[in-house]
Copies of this chain bind each other. A is one copy, B any other.
Amino acid sequence: MTVRFACAQIEVVPGRPDINFATIIDAIDKAKAENIDILILPELAVPGYFLGDLWEQPAFLDDCIEYGKRIIAAADNICVIFGNIALDRTKHNEDGRIRKYNAAFIAQNGKLLKGALPYPYIVKTSLPNYREFDDSRYFHSLRKLREEMAVPIEELVKPISITIRQQSFNIGIMICEDGWTTNYSINIPKLLAKNGADVLCNISCSPFSLQKNPKRHQIFGEQAKDCHLPLLYCNNVGVQNNGKNIFTFDGCSCTYQNDGTLLTDSPAYEEHFLKTNFDPNTKLLTNENYIHNNYSEIAEIYNAVSYGTRKFLKQIGISKMTIGVSGGIDSALTAAFYVNLLGPGNVLLVNMPSKFNSPLTKNLALMIAKALKCNYCIMPIQESVDHTNTQMTQTQIHDYESNSTFSLELSPLARENIQARDRTRILAALASAFGGGFSCNSNKAEITVGYATFYGDLTGVLAMIGDLWKNQVYELAHYLNDKIFERKVIPDEIFTISPSAELSAEQTVGVGGDPIVYEYHDYLFRAFIERWDKASPLDILYWYKEGSLEEIIGCQSGIISKIFPTNKAFIDDLERWWKLFSGFAVAKRIQAPPIISLSRRAYGYDHREAQLSPYFSLKYHKLKEELLRN
């Protein structure tokens, strides 16, 4: 006999159980029409996952339970496995609020199937508390429940027996992290297998990160092989955010055969109905057709940025975008992206030159607008900047302590920042006149060291490329030209000019550029934030001394000695950026726009930060002294 499974890779809208309920009912109807026996839906498919402290609001929780009941009632002549919040009103969480479980419900003929727990649902065991995840803040785990019940975990982690057309078999259900067994002392899939599972199923709400899918294929594949059981993985699509980070959900629901091979995938970022047949006797899966995803890394980045931005803007009700274009690569890429997403009529590019902007970049800004066929205007900032400078330096300040007056002076840096902020004056006003929002064009290297002006360039509704290093920005710009527009909407010259903020005579393109040497600093900064064991100045200095730094951080060979003639020059540079990264840049990030998150560590609630004073370790000081003696 064959059991017909389907994983419904639906779009889940966080905080909208009403919408998600309607989506789930549609999926159930479709499954019935296609004679599916068991329909699998993602983790927390009713409430969504990243909701912040909305989990504390009883009225919201009540609605999730109510919609859950309606889903159970709709499961007639079909078995539906779905994720939802479960409440035990007789118990409390460790914060004293009502007991909440991240749970999987198995409904058949309007009733819930019960397993080994005192509840008619499965409870998530392993709660992730790293990166963007705060599971322990909201959910009580099976581990804690077991502790209260004082029974061995083996007695609680058991498969559910399901009967389809008079044949019974056992399905072992995991919830997301329960399958990511590497670092936990409890191995849920093995326990399920040991307790008689015939097939495994993992329902997830798992955000996209670069390199995550291959990692999952490795871990889940090994799991299927070790347990000698097939595994169905059901994930949702959509976007969810935790305030500072916008996460995309690529879905990529898939099945693994019992030898660990990846049997079939689902397309990324699309609602999809992944059907697969299971034979309880052979414990093998078969499909009618097979999909195998094969996205390049740059295509994955493009997909995530594109999907994430589109869905997020739609959610917050923005359909038009104003973008400051300087003639540089960051704003050019951002402009091209928005035109592609919103259409040229909904995009307004504005060039905001001061006396320091070169004819070259001003012309490049115009070329982009023409190539993208969108709206364009020029709003110079010089008059306003001059007015601010005059107001600052010529206003008399009265000191009521000594009853005297004085006036102030502006440093060169203060004058640069006035220009950058004056552009926010224009962008914000222009966005409200044009409708919609304005864009933050900062890249990850700039955000790392706060190479941006407070309330100047670090403003906007969304930092679309805020999780991309400068080298990725160039690569993505080529991708847009070559693969998306299939013409040079971003002119060649933008790829070749040196990046420069053009905020002073010294900085104008053709004269001087950014203090960040992206060929090296992109990789240095990446080591600060994205490495598993965050690299500190000690690690960097140690690798520098050993001659392995370039290889370890991944920059081109030979570049370090080209940039730094002496150990002192290297150390000065390292300390300059480290102090900014762990000092003032943190203050800037606290007030920065949300970021579309792509990497294994994005700024925001993914990488959490306190404002601390920059710190250099004991061994760093010692190694530094040693290197400076040589």
Using a CB–CB distance below 8 Å, which chain A residues touch chain B? 13-16, 18, 50-54, 56-60, 62-63, 66, 92-97, 126-131, 134, 136-137, 143-144, 147-148, 182-186, 240-244, 315-316, 344-345, 348, 369-370, 372-379, 383-384, 387-388, 391-393, 395-401, 408-411, 413-414, 417-418, 421-422, 424-426, 428-430, 432-434, 454-455, 459, 461, 532-534, 536-539, 586-587, 589-594, 605, 607-613, 615, 617-620
CB distance from A382 to the nearest CB of B (A): 11
Q: Tell me which residues across on chain B come within 8 A of A387, comparing CB atoms.
A: 383-384, 387
Please name 17 further chain A to chain B contacts, defined as beta carbons within 8 Å, in addition to the given A94-B126, A316-B587, A411-B433, sorted by A numbering.
A16-B615, A18-B618, A59-B617, A62-B619, A94-B129, A97-B532, A147-B147, A241-B611, A243-B589, A344-B401, A370-B400, A392-B429, A393-B433, A414-B433, A417-B432, A421-B424, A424-B455
Q: Tell me which residues across on chain B come within 8 A of A593, comparing CB atoms.
A: 590-591
Q: Tell me which residues across on chain B come within 8 A of A413, comparing CB atoms.
A: 432
CB distance from A24 to the nearest CB of B (A): 16
Q: Tell me which residues across on chain B come within 8 A of A13, comparing CB atoms.
A: 613
* Residue in B59, B375, B388 whose beta carbon sits within 8 Å of that of A536 in the complex: B59
Q: Tell me which residues across on chain B come within 8 A of A129, comparing CB atoms.
A: 94-95, 129, 134, 136-137
Q: Evaluate contact between B147 and A533: CB separation under 8 angstroms.
A: no
Q: Evaluate contact between B388 and A14: CB separation under 8 angstroms.
A: no
Identify 9 residue pairs between A and B in the complex whose beta-carbon atoms are under 8 Å apart, listed by A's number: A53-B608, A242-B608, A243-B590, A243-B608, A384-B387, A384-B388, A388-B425, A410-B433, A591-B592
Q: Evaluate contact between A182 and B53: CB separation under 8 angstroms.
A: no
* Residue in B60, B130, B184, B534 whose beta carbon sits within 8 Å of that of A617 in the complex: B60
Contact A63:B617 (CB < 8 A) given known A384-B387, A391-B426, A392-B433: yes
Q: Tell me which residues across on chain B come within 8 A of A345, comparing CB atoms.
A: 399, 401
Q: Evaluate contact between A96 and B241: CB separation under 8 angstroms.
A: no
Output the nearest chain B residue to A348 by Cβ-Cβ distance. Answer: B397
CB distance from A528 to the nearest CB of B (A): 9
Q: Tell me which residues across on chain B come within 8 A of A95, comparing CB atoms.
A: 128-131, 183
* Residue in B128, B376, B534 whose beta carbon sits within 8 Å of that of A398 in the complex: B376
CB distance from A212 to the nearest CB of B (A): 14
Q: Evaluate contact between A428 and B421: CB separation under 8 angstroms.
A: yes
Output the nearest chain B residue to A611 by Cβ-Cβ distance. Answer: B241
- C-alpha gap A536/B589 in the complex (Å): 31
Q: Evaluate contact between A429 and B418: CB separation under 8 angstroms.
A: yes
Q: Evaluate contact between B375 and A94: CB separation under 8 angstroms.
A: no
CB distance from A476 to the nearest CB of B (A): 23
Q: Evaluate contact between A51 and B612: CB separation under 8 angstroms.
A: yes
- C-alpha gap A421/B537 in the complex (Å): 39
* Residue in B184, B344, B418, B428 whose beta carbon sits within 8 Å of that of A94 in the complex: B184
Output the nearest chain B residue to A378 by Cβ-Cβ distance. Answer: B395
Output the nearest chain B residue to A186 by Cβ-Cβ distance. Answer: B147
Q: Evaluate contact between A400 and B428: CB separation under 8 angstroms.
A: no
Output the nearest chain B residue to A143 by Cβ-Cβ distance. Answer: B147
- C-alpha gap A184/B372 in the complex (Å): 60
Output the nearest chain B residue to A371 by Cβ-Cβ distance. Answer: B400
CB distance from A340 to the nearest CB of B (A): 14
Q: Tell me which residues across on chain B come within 8 A of A395, comparing CB atoms.
A: 377-379
Q: Tell me which residues across on chain B come within 8 A of A534, comparing CB atoms.
A: 53, 56-58
Q: Evaluate contact between A425 and B428: CB separation under 8 angstroms.
A: no
* Residue in B128, B410, B589 whose beta carbon sits within 8 Å of that of A432 in the complex: B410
Q: Tell me which residues across on chain B come within 8 A of A605, comparing CB atoms.
A: 605, 608
Q: Evaluate contact between B53 and A609: CB separation under 8 angstroms.
A: yes
Contact A455:B459 (CB < 8 A) given known A148-B185, A373-B401: yes
Contact A425:B430 (CB < 8 A) given known A376-B397, A400-B369, A590-B594: no
- C-alpha gap A418/B424 in the complex (Å): 11
Q: Evaluate contact between A620 and B388: CB separation under 8 angstroms.
A: no
Q: Tell me which residues across on chain B come within 8 A of A401, comparing CB atoms.
A: 344-345, 373-374
- C-alpha gap A534/B379 in the complex (Å): 46
CB distance from A143 to the nearest CB of B (A): 7
Q: Tell me which residues across on chain B come within 8 A of A613, comparing CB atoms.
A: 13, 15-16, 315
Output the nearest chain B residue to A616 by Cβ-Cβ distance. Answer: B59
Q: Tell me which residues across on chain B come within 8 A of A411, comparing CB atoms.
A: 432-433
- C-alpha gap A384/B422 in the complex (Å): 11
Q: Evaluate contact between B410 and A428: CB separation under 8 angstroms.
A: no
Q: Tell me which residues across on chain B come within 8 A of A591, comparing CB atoms.
A: 459, 591-593
- C-alpha gap A202/B417 in the complex (Å): 49
Q: Evaluate contact between A377 and B400: CB separation under 8 angstroms.
A: no
